[in-house]
Amino acid sequence: MRLYGLKTCDTCRKALKTLPDAEFVDVRSDGVPDAVLSQALADFGDALLNTRSATWRGLDDNQRAKAPLELLKQHPTLMKRPLIEQGGELFLGWTAETRTQLGIS
């Protein structure tokens, strides 16, 4: 299991506490592999972009108009977190639904 997120993100820390065996990948320093990012965008669409983040607010209209994949490659902190990869399947966020899908109560 691999968890993509930010080490400073409270939600990612909660997820890691519950999933201590997960490999943590800090998207700010390590990025997200292109294949994973492409699959996540195909699976989650625009929900993958965190338009409420400080990074998003710092972008001008020209930057916001770019394709989501290009934006996420340039600014990996725009990705909603955490993105969890398990057995080739992706899960987004740390919601009750995600925990249920992962078999965590």
For 28-79, write each residue's pLDDT tens digit.
999 999 999 999 999 999 899 999 999 999 999 999 999 999 999 999 999 9
Per DSSP, 79 falls in state B
Percent of the chain with pLDDT over 90: 94
Q: Which two tokens stand for residue 26?
A: 């800090």
- The rounded distance, in Å, linking the Cα atoms of 24 and 34 is 17
Q: Is the pLDDT of residue 4 over 70?
A: yes
State yes or no: is 12 an active-site residue.
Answer: no
Residue in 3, 6, 9, 27 annotated catalytic: 9
Tokens 């990705």 sit on residue: 79
Q: Of 17, 37, 28, give the one whose Cα is nearest residue 92.
A: 37
- Looking at residue 86, its amino acid is Q
Q: Is the pLDDT of residue 105 over 80?
A: no
Tokens 């080490």 sit on residue: 7
